Amino acid sequence: MVHAFDVLGDPVRRRILELLADGELTAGAITATIHAEFDISQPAVSQHLKVLRDNGFTSVRAHGQRRLYAVNGQALRDVDDWLAGFRRFWTPHLDALATEVARGKRQRRRSAT
C-alpha cells in the first residue's frame, strides 16, 4: 500500500477529496469537475479515483449504472492521528492568533460605543 502522504501529495486527488467532503458524487460529476479544473482525461481521473479507493480514502457503491464515490473517514483519521504528534508546532501560534483576533474585536466594540 502507498503511504498516505504519497496519495495526498497529488493536487488532483486532494481536489477530489475536497469535492467529496460535502457528500457522495458520481464518477461522472467528479470527472467533469476535474477535467474542467485540471484539463485531464476521463481515464486519468479514473486512475486517481482508483488510487484513492485502493488506499482507503474513498469508497464506491453502485447505484444503477452509476458509481457513487464518498470519503472514507478512517483513512483521514489515520492521517490526523499521525499529525497529532506535530500539532505542538502550530497550536500555540493558532491560539495566539485567536487571542489577538478576540482582542481586536473587543477594541472595535469599545470604540463603537
Handedness of CA 97, 10, 43, 57 (dihedral sign): negative
72 Cβ contact list (under 8 Å, min separation 6):
56, 57, 58, 59
Q: b/e string for 77-86 if b means 16 or more Cβ within 10 A? A: eeeeeeeeee
Q: Which tens digits make up the pLDDT trace of 53-77?
A: 999 999 999 999 999 999 998 888 8
Residue for cell digits 502507498?
2
Shortest CA distance to 4 belongs to which of 107, 105, 109, 79? 79
- The reported pLDDT for the residue numbered 79 is 87
**pLDDT tens digits along 3-38:** 888 999 999 999 999 999 999 999 999 999 999 999
| Whether this model's pTM surpasses 0.85 | no
